[in-house]
Each structure stands twice: as C-alpha cells, then as structure tokens.
Amino acid sequence: MPDPPQADLVLPRGASVAGDAALPRVLLLGPARTAVSGVSTHLNQLFDSPLAQHFRLSQFQVGSEGRGEGRAAFLLRLITSPCALLARLVRVRPRIVHINTSFEPKGYWRDLVYLGVAKLLRLKVVYQIHGGALPAQFFGKSPLLTRLLRRVLAWPDAVVLLSAAELAAFREFAPAARLRRIANAVPIGEVDLSPARYAVQRPLAVTYLGRLAVDKGIFETIEAVRLLRERGVEVHLRIAGSGAALEQIRRAIAEADVGERVVLVGALFGAAKEQLWRGSDVLAFPSYREGLPYALLEAMSWGAVPVVTPVGAIAEVVQDQVHGLIVPPRNPAAVADALQKLSEDRALLHRLALAARERVASQFSVTRLVAEFNDLYRSLA
C-alpha cells in the first residue's frame, strides 16, 4: 500500500486554497500514517476528520515505523531530524506543534529534542502521551532525571493523556503541567450484531490486530490455543499486523504445533481490516502495558468481544463480565479459560458484544474526539 501524500495542505470538501490559507496551521509529529501503530491510527483519525475544515493540518514524520531504512540511514536521520524539523517549522510557521509520544526511553529522549526545537521558536505545543510508564516510575531511582522530567512536563502548553488514571498520576507528579484528558475514539459503522453471527455451529473466531511485539501478549494467546486444543476446544486465531517479533511468532506457532488453528494474515488496512473485524468473535489482546489501544475500540465497535488485561486505560473501557473478560498479564492459562468460556457460552458472547458496541458508541466516538481537539486547538491558536 503506497504512502498517502504528505502535503502540507489538507482541504475540506468545497474549500478554496485562498480560504484555507487563513486557517491556523497545526503540524503533527508521528510515524508514517500507513504504519501498523496506534499513533498512526490516531493521526489518520485527525487528518480524516472535520478538523481539516478548521485547521490546516500537516505532518512531520518521526520514528522508524513505516520506513524501510538500513542502520546507516537510521543514524543519519537520527542526527539530522532536529535540523529538518527546525527547517520545516521555519518554512510552515504553524501556530501549534502536536507531538505524539509515549513514555518509553527512546521515544522520550527523541521527542524531548523536538519539544525543545518547537519552544525555541516560541510555538504552542500539544504534547500527547500514548501510554508507557507512569511518570513517578519512569526514571526509577534517578532523582536528577525525575526532577528534569517534572520540568519537561511543564514546558508544553497542553499535555494530553488518554485515561483518568494517567491524569491523576501526572497531576500528582507534575502539578505545574497543563494536563488534559482526551481519550482515543473510532468511527461507528453499521455492523451485524444478530445472534446468528455468534452461533455455536463453528469454532470461535479470535483475532489479534496490532504491532507484532513480545509485550502485546501474542505468545500467551498462541499458548492458549495450544492449551485449548489439549482440552478439545477448537478456536481459530488470526494475527494481523507487522513488527519486530514476526519471526519469533512464526517459531512459536510451529513449536506449539497449532499451524492449522493460527494464521498470520499480515498488516491489513481499510476494507480488508473491516472484513477481518466482521468475521471476528473475540479480540485477544492480553498486553503487558498500554495507553488506550485503538485495536480495542475498533474490535468493540465491530462486535468482537475483548479478552484483555487491566493495563493502561483498558480498565476504564472494559468492565469484566460486562463488556468483555479481564485476564491477568503473562497468564496463557487465564487466556485459555476466557476463550473457552466464550466458546461454550454463545449467549454470553452475544450479550458482551452488544454491551461492548454500546460502550464505544456512547463514549468513544470520533465526533467526541474531534470536538475535544477542536476546543484544545482553538484555545491555543
């Protein structure tokens, strides 16, 4: 799939270039919009939304996701990207720089430089944190770096967090930071939620969608499929996405001897991803740590029941036995038990699917997301 054009101008339907030139400019920092990443999904939500009717949106691509580069190209980009951002800011002169980051070491230090460049030019900065460690634990026992982090969080004009739990933790850690919670959201389309979709005549259709990484719980889900085969329970697992753990996942499937029940389908976008969700009964996402995963919201909106861990903002979205099933991290037996329960009780599966869909439609729609970012941008522009 080719990359979408990275033009500075995103025109709403019927707008003229002359009229659009007067709109406040917002430069968003994040990975390629075609990358398999929650932040990429977030960028696409904003670019494809009515925000483009009120702000002139453009992107500066950061990070390795979505790039096919060798080590030499990576090092060159790492060294030169702050200068490239500075040149872009001088040329475009946005009112707002929207940095999308996460609280993991590599991304933090990289985006700290970008934050410094933007503030050097006295631009308004939205610093959105997409999961990772909580601030009090981020630098462990280093008082110096912890003090620095507290100062860093006071630099942006708005620090955007995904969950109420994060908001409370950041507020306690950095009282001077200008904090705001804006949860992720997804479009709400038409979907079949009839009892026939979840009928017992076929094996339970389980899906994982996202970045292929060890900490996403994929290996625990593969082991759960093996355990269920030993119990005589048949489930079919489709793993959609791309990432560094691909070869490890292939080996795990072979070693568990579940190749007839576990299929790697690659990265899916657009209609192909919608088709995947339409054929899914369950999302298996027993991740070790998260912000608010788009895969969770997408699955729930399409009627796939989540089997998830209570990490990040997930516990604020999914109530156990109401919208899905909660399992502890790093526990394949618990994942197997949850999948077996849903496989054997299709009435429960249907009830949870209806509640999950209603939960997302009422609290996590794109309409709400756009309204909140529109308010935030206008307050800074």
In which band, very low, low, confident or very high, does the pLDDT at 68 lie, cut at 50, 70 and 90?
low
DSSP string, 274-312: HHHHHT-SEEEE--SS-S--HHHHHHHHTTPEEEE-S-T
Q: Are 206 and 265 in contact (CB under 8 A)?
A: no
Longest dimension (CA), the chain: 66
CA-to-CA dists, residue 115 to 100, 121, 155, 162, angstroms = 11, 10, 8, 20
Q: What is the pLDDT of residue 9?
A: 33
Mean pLDDT of 173-192: 95
Q: Identify which of 9-13, 47-51, 74-78, 112-116 has the greatest average pLDDT.
A: 112-116
Q: What is the pLDDT of residue 136?
A: 94
**Main-chain phi, psi angles of 234, to 5 degrees:** -100, 120
- Condensed to tens digits (0 to 9), the pLDDT of residues 196-238 reads 999 888 999 999 999 999 999 999 999 999 999 999 999 999 9
Q: What is the pLDDT of residue 66?
A: 59
> How many CA atoms, within 13 angstroms, populate the side-chain half-sphere of residue 347?
0
Q: What is the pLDDT of residue 11?
A: 35
> Does residue 74 register a pLDDT over 60?
yes
Q: Are 103 and 138 in contact (CB under 8 A)?
A: yes
Q: Which residues contact 33 (CB under 8 A, 6 or more apart)?
A: 3, 4, 40, 43, 44, 47, 59, 66
Give the three-state DSSP class for 185: coil
State the amino acid at position 334 in one-letter form: A
Q: Are 241 and 36 in contact (CB under 8 A)?
A: yes
Domains and CATH numbers, the chain: 17-185+365-380 (3.40.50.2000), 195-363 (3.40.50.2000)
Q: What is the pLDDT of residue 197?
A: 95
Q: pLDDT > 70: what percent of the chain?
A: 93
Range list of β-strands (E), the chain: 25-30, 56-61, 96-103, 124-132, 158-161, 179-181, 204-209, 235-240, 262-266, 282-285, 305-308, 325-326
Q: What is the pLDDT of residue 65?
A: 66
CA distance 292 to 136: 20
Q: What is the pLDDT of residue 34?
A: 87
Mean pLDDT of 131-160: 94
- Condensed to tens digits (0 to 9), the pLDDT of residues 237-293 reads 999 999 999 999 999 999 999 999 999 999 998 899 999 999 999 999 999 989 899
**Main-chain phi, psi angles of 189, to 5 degrees:** -105, 180
- Condensed to tens digits (0 to 9), the pLDDT of residues 146-161 reads 999 999 999 999 999 9
**Main-chain phi, psi angles of 208, to 5 degrees:** -115, 135
